Amino acid sequence: MNVVPEPGTVLDPDALRRALADGDAIALTRVPGIGRKGAERMVLELRDKVVAPAPALTAPAAAGGPRDQVVEALLGLGFPVKAAEQAVDAVLAENAEAGAAAALRSALSQLGRNR
């Protein structure tokens, strides 16, 4: 079962994992707001924490809806559980209809401001 990216997304989850695992900073720079240095830092910090998907096998979508998916994604990026949950809850309180990709972008933005 392949995960279909939401409209407007640059990299689907498998492509992101593959880019990080392969050290492909150029693919990451196609994401708006991520420059060369940011992409290189993401590769450096996350390369060993992600597993590239097998070509024929993909993980099923996380159960529980967009909130759980976004919290899980933030945890995978190394954010603390409490901070991830608070950021996602704040984002979904403002826009309950946000999809997982939009909620993740907003939560990352909020977590970046809090640093």
Q: What is the pLDDT of residues 13-23, one digit of tens each?
A: 888 888 888 88
Give the count of alpha carbons within 13 A of 32, CB side only. 5
Which tens digit of pLDDT belongs to each residue from 58-101? 444 445 678 888 888 888 888 888 888 999 999 999 988 888 88
Read off the tokens for 77.
């990026």
Q: What structural domains does the chain harbor?
A: 13-46 (no CATH), 66-113 (1.10.8.10)
- 11: confidence class by pLDDT, cuts 50, 70, 90: confident
**pTM, 2 dp:** 0.45
Which residues, 6 or more positions from 14, have their beta carbon under 8 angstroms from its beta carbon? 2, 3, 53, 58
pLDDT of residue 37: 92
Answer whether 39's CB lies under 8 Å from 25's CB.
Answer: yes
Q: What is the pLDDT of residue 57?
A: 40
